[in-house]
């Protein structure tokens, strides 16, 4: 069940801009490499003026229309990602824009309705005249629209969830998504020599696809794995926690793949029943990587829960990119309800890559020029990921395939393990690396 | 198949949950008998009360004030709804009365989604001091919140039965359940009796919201729709018998949790309240048909 709600609240955020006439004449794109973005890892310390080429000068040229489709329904909302991208673009617009052009960002929300999602894509292209798609984060969007984007030659920069976000030629995500993030969590547990893995996740479409990665890793390590699924919202977390612990045994690991609220209630139930020490360790995919969760759990879970982190831990990092991210969040991110965290980091990174690519376009900003620029991004140091990010012309894209592991540390998430490559034992990772090679680690 | 030892912890958690379902079911039955309203907003008012209580505690208020406000909020909102819409809906069909409370449910649900968003990975929890202490029964850890959950169900059921039997107000409520018009004709202050039923039901919604926020989750969707389990127990008891509501609620909680470790049935355990209610209604209707046939 994707959402157990009978009522849905639709929040439609859309920017108000007029479209601009695009001409293909004089368009050219240069391949973009390394960390040369004005807003990227090269950004210096202090303030948001670093996010554009002309600090303090409001961009006044014809707008560059970009669009985004995000899921927003009770219990599942990814609007923070698009709102953070919007914040980044607002910052760019206030500091010279892209060669003087402001970015006009059109965000549409959907409620896991396939017809609505398809219509959203057409609205963005036909009514809003967008020339690029940046910041998509949706349970179904990649599945529904990937063929449409391929037909139009639009190369999406997104946060992936559905398998098609990673297995199709025109979608490149900044995150790992549930499968590879679960891979990372299980890989960490296996490295701690657990004798059994219980992998529990929400009972939503695609659980078999997600579980295939962790199962492959456990099989390669000759460790038995038990796959469980839970209907969400969970109606009695106590029984779920008991079942997981019973199945894992004292030297086993329980690895969760849930949204933060669902993961929290399972972990808290375990704590209330005194079960947290009845297994060797607990693991979780990226959604658990929030300070909300660390605060709610308390110190009992320090070095007991290990969470896969797809992006650089914000609390313990003080790089120029991280400073810029926090400064933009503070100045322009009033709509980002979750504040500092994975979701807003993803939005920042997607916008950062898009801006980096757009700055390389010379001539008019058309669908062709913009998406050629997106595809040309290669070896870009976002300052937010373990490794350099590449789009490229590959049949599939898993550009983020190295991760961190974090653990609660008295109300914050602290790094437990540095950058580690997701194992090629997962056949999808192996296929991608065969096509694109292994990306260099970021500096 | 799990062993008896494997099942023991599920027995404890099922009893605790069943106890809270029981007190909720009793609240629903008492209100229905006094006013004819199936109160579908029971879960939503408890959920919102719990979220308000959490917000207060989150900004530094003492825990007890948050719990008190939770219970008071649910009581006041329920009473307010009853006083505002009760008279206008008094002569309407029971279905209309129930659907009207669905309107309140959706209003509260929308407000909770707006005010306590889960965007950005936000998650909340409401813990009671009784979570951190408990005792062992064999190999099973039992915490005091679970004991309170079951005890609350027992006490509320027993207390309500005694209240209805031995107090003047309780007698008036029972009389209204039989015939509202005749009761009014006999000089019983119908509005006042109804107000007491609405307030009592609201307070029980607040207590249930508080306990379920701890035992299950502090989440608007989860808490709002947990009313289904209590409603199922009340329906099994035909919205009439408090003792049967209690037994049915315990059965719903127990069966739900005992199915958890059985791999083949685990993902179907959320059907428990629906299956039990449907089976009970079928048995009841079959019994009626047979009785009518004999008559």
Supply the DSSP string of A314-360, one letter for each residue. Answer: STT---HHHHHHHHHHHHH-TT-TT-SSHHHHHHHHHHHHHHHHHTT
Instruction: Give the minimum alpha-carbon distance from B170 to chain A in angstroms, rounded to a whole number.
Output: 33
Residue of A259 and B242 predicted with greater confidence: B242
Burial (Cβ within 10 Å: 0-12, 13-18, ≥19) of residue A173:
buried
Query: How far, in Å, are A100, B26, B161, B199 from residue B165 at the CA level?
Result: 81, 15, 6, 19
Tokens of A70: 């995000």
What average pLDDT score do residues A125-147 get? Answer: 96
For B58, which residue in chain A has the nearest alpha carbon?
A: A296
The reply to whether ipTM tops 0.95 is no
Task: Tell me the average pLDDT across A284-298.
Answer: 87
* A55 vs B166: CA distance, rounded Å: 79
DSSP 8-state symbol, A440: P
Using one digit for the tens of pLDDT, what is the confidence trace for A213-239?
999 999 999 999 999 999 887 878 889
Chain A residue with CA closest to B107: the answer is A7
Spatial CA neighbour of A290 closest among A340, A350, A345: A340
* For chain A, percent of residues with pLDDT exceeding 90: 70
Query: Residue with structure tokens 């560059």?
Result: A64
Q: Which CATH architecture has domain A178-309+403-436?
A: 3-Layer(aba) Sandwich (3.40)
pLDDT at res. B121: 61
Residues with Cβ within 8 Å of residue A306, at least 6 apart in sequence:
A185, A188, A189, A281, A282, A283, A284, A405, A406, A407, A416, A417
Query: What is the reported pLDDT for A46?
Result: 53
B108: closest chain A residue by CA: A7
| Range(s) of chain A covered by CATH 3.40.50.2300 | 28-176+315-400, 178-309+403-436
Look at B216 and A236 and tell me if their CB atoms are within 8 Å: yes
Q: Note the pLDDT of residue B65.
A: 96
Least confident of A114-118, A292-296, A342-346, B243-247: A292-296
Q: How many Å apart are CA A274 and CA A160, to the nearest integer?
A: 36
Encoded tokens for B287: 């019994």
State the total domains in chain B. 1
pLDDT higher than threshold 60 for residue A6: no
**A296/B123 Cβ within 8 A:** yes
Read off the pLDDT of each residue in A380-402 and give the average, rounded to a whole number: 96
CA dist A182 → A161, A237, A257, B20, B107 (Å): 12, 21, 7, 35, 37
The model's pLDDT over B184-230, given as tens digits with 9 standing for 90+, comes to 888 889 889 999 999 999 999 999 999 999 988 888 888 998 889 99
The answer to whether A85 touches A351, Cβ cutoff 8 Å, is: yes
Highest mean pLDDT: which of A39-53, A185-199, A272-286, A410-424?
A185-199
Average pLDDT over residues B31-36: 91
Count of alpha carbons within 13 Å of B258, Cβ hemisphere only? 16
Contact yes or no for A7 and B10 at CB 8 A? no
pLDDT, position A293: 86
Domain that holds residue B274: 4-294
- How confident is residue B289, by pLDDT bands cut at 50, 70 and 90? low
- The DSSP element (H or E) to which B135 belongs, if any, is strand B134-137
Structure confidence at residue B293 (pLDDT): 64
User: What residues of chain B lie within 8 A of the CB of A78, using their CB?
Assistant: 119
pLDDT band with cut points at 50, 70 and 90 for residue A340: confident
CB A94, CB A52: distance < 8 Å: yes
A287 versus B295: which is more confidently predicted? A287
- Which member of B9, B10, B118 has the closest CB to residue A261? B118
- Percent of chain A scoring above 70 in pLDDT: 89
Kindly report the CATH number assigned to the domain that includes residue B109: 1.10.3470
What pLDDT is attached to residue A184? Answer: 97
Q: What are phi and psi of A104, to 5 degrees?
A: -105, 120
Residues 6+ apart with CB under 8 A from B274: B228, B232
Question: Which residues, 6 or more positions from A251, have their beta carbon under 8 angstroms from its beta carbon?
Answer: A194, A195, A196, A279, A280
Mean pLDDT for the stretch of residues A320-330:
95
CA distances (Å), origin A121, targets A138, A163, A354, A388:
12, 19, 19, 29
Residue pointed to by tokens 């919140």:
B145
User: Distance from first CA to last CA of chain A, Å, rounded?
Assistant: 42
- What pLDDT band is residue B120 in, cutting at 50, 70 and 90? low
| C-alpha triplet A311, A312, A316: angle, nearest 5° | 145
- Please count the other Cβ atoms lying within 10 Å of the Cβ belonging to residue A16: 6
Q: Are A52 and A96 in contact (CB under 8 A)?
A: yes
pLDDT at B292: 63
Determine the Cα–Cα distance for residues A188 and A221; give it in Å rounded to an integer.
12
Element housing A257 (H / E): strand A253-257
End-to-end CA distance of chain B: 47
Note the pLDDT of residue A40. Answer: 42
Mean pLDDT value of segment A131-146: 96
Q: Is the Cβ pair B226, A4 closer than 8 Å?
A: no
Q: What is the dihedral of CA A176, A177, A179, A184, to 10 degrees?
A: 40
Give the helix, strand, coil percentages of chain A, each rounded to 5: 35, 20, 40
Average pLDDT over residues A181-198: 97
Average pLDDT of the residues in A323-347: 92
**For residue A134, what pLDDT is reported?**
98
SS3 A414: strand
Residues of A in contact with B113 (CB under 8 A): 9, 74
Separation between Cα atoms, residue A299 and residue A347, nearest integer Å: 30
Which chain B residues are within 8 Å of A79, Cβ to Cβ? 119
CB contacts, 8 Å: B13 with chain A = 236, 238-239, 242, 273
- Chosen for mutation from A77, A227, A239, A256 (greatest number of chain B CBs closer than 10 Å) is A239
Q: How far is B1 from chain A (nearest CA, A)?
A: 12
Mean pLDDT of B34-41: 94
Mutate to test the interface with A, among B102, B121, B215, B271 (most CBs of A within 10 A): B121
The Cα B112–Cα A76 span in angstroms is 14
Q: Which residues of A touch B14 (CB under 8 A)?
A: 236, 239
Asked if A272 and B145 come within 8 Å (Cβ–Cβ), the reply is yes
Q: Quick one: average pLDDT of B100-106?
A: 96
Is the bond preceding residue A233 a cis peptide, omega within 30 degrees? yes
Q: A124 falls in which pLDDT band (50, 70, 90)?
A: very high
Q: How far apart are CA A229 and CA A246, in angstroms?
A: 15
- The matching CATH number, chosen from 3.40.50.180, 3.60.15.10, 3.40.50.170, 3.40.50.2300, for A28-176+315-400 is 3.40.50.2300
Provide the pLDDT confidence category of residue A19 given band limits of 50, 70 and 90. very low
Alpha helices in A94-173 (DSSP H): 114-122, 141-152, 164-167
């Amino acid at each position: 069940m994707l959402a157990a709600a009978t009522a849905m609240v639709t929040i439609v955020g859309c920017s108000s801009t007029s479209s601009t006439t695009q001409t293909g004449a004089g368009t050219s794109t240069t391949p973009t490499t390394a960390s040369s973005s004005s807003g990227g890892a090269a950004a210096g310390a202090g303030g948001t003026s670093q996010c554009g080429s002309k600090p303090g000068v409001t961009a006044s040229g014809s707008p560059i229309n970009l669009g985004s489709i995000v899921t927003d329904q009770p219990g599942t909302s990814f609007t923070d990602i698009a709102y953070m991208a919007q914040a980044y673009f607002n910052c760019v617009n206030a500091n010279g824009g892209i060669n003087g052009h402001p970015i006009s960002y059109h965000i549409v929300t959907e409620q896991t309705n396939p017809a609505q999602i398809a219509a959203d894509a057409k609205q963005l292209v036909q009514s809003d005249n967008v020339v690029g798609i940046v910041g998509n984060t949706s349970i179904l969007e990649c599945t529904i629209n990937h063929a449409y984007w391929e037909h139009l030659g639009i190369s999406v920069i997104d946060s992936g969830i559905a398998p098609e976000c990673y297995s199709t030629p025109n979608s490149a995500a900044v995150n790992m998504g549930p499968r590879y993030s679960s891979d990372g969590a299980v890989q960490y547990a296996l490295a701690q020599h657990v004798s059994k893995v219980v992998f529990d996740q929400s009972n939503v479409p695609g659980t078999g696809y997600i579980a295939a990665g962790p199962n492959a890793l456990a099989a390669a390590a000759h460790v038995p794995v038990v796959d469980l699924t839970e209907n969400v919202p969970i109606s009695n977390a106590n029984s779920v926690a008991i079942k997981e612990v019973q199945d894992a045994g004292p030297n086993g690991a329980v690895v969760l793949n849930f949204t933060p609220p669902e993961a929290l209630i399972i972990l808290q139930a375990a704590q209330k029943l005194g079960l947290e020490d009845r297994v060797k360790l607990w693991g979780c995919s990226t959604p658990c990587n929030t300070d909300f969760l660390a605060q709610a759990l308390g110190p009992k879970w320090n070095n007991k829960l290990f969470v896969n982190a797809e992006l650089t831990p914000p609390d313990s990092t003080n790089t120029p990119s991280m400073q810029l991210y926090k400064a933009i969040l503070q100045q322009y991110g009033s709509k980002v309800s979750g504040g500092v965290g994975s979701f807003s980091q993803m939005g920042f990174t997607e916008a950062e890559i898009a801006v980096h690519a757009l700055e390389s376009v010379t001539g008019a900003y058309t669908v062709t020029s913009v998406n050629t620029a997106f595809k040309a991004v290669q070896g870009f140091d976002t300052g937010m990921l373990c490794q350099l990010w590449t789009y490229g012309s590959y049949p599939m894209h898993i550009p983020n395939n190295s991760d961190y592991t974090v653990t609660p540390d008295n109300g914050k998430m602290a790094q437990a393990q540095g950058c580690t490559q997701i194992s090629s034992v997962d056949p999808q990772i192996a296929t991608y690396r065969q096509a694109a090679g292994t990306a260099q680690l970021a500096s | 198949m799990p062993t008896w030892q494997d099942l023991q912890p599920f027995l404890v958690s099922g009893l605790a949950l069943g106890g809270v379902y029981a007190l909720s079911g009793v609240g629903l039955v008492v209100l229905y008998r006094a006013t004819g309203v199936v109160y579908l907003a029971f879960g939503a008012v408890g959920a919102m009360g719990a979220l308000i209580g959490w917000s207060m505690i989150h900004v530094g208020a003492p825990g007890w004030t948050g719990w008190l406000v939770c219970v008071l909020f649910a009581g006041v909102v329920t009473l307010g709804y009853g006083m505002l819409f009760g008279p206008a809906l008094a002569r309407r069909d029971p279905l209309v009365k129930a659907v009207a409370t669905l309107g309140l449910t959706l209003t509260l649900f929308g407000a909770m989604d707006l005010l306590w968003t889960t965007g950005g990975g936000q998650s909340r929890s409401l813990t009671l001091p009784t979570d951190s202490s408990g005792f062992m029964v064999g190999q099973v850890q039992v915490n005091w919140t679970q004991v309170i959950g079951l005890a609350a169900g027992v006490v509320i059921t027993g207390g309500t039965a005694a209240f209805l039997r031995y107090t003047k107000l309780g007698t008036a409520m029972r009389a209204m359940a039989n015939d509202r018009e005749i009761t009014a004709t006999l000089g019983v202050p119908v509005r006042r009796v109804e107000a007491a039923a609405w307030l009592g039901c609201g307070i029980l919604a607040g207590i249930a919201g508080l306990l379920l926020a701890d035992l299950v989750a502090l989440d608007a969707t989860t808490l709002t729709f947990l009313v289904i389990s209590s409603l199922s127990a009340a329906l099994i008891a035909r919205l009439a018998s408090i003792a049967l509501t209690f037994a049915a609620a315990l059965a719903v909680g127990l069966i739900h949790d005992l199915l958890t470790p059985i791999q083949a049935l685990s993902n179907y355990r959320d059907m428990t309240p629906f299956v039990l209610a449907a089976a009970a209604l079928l048995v009841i209707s079959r019994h009626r048909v047979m009785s009518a046939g004999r008559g």
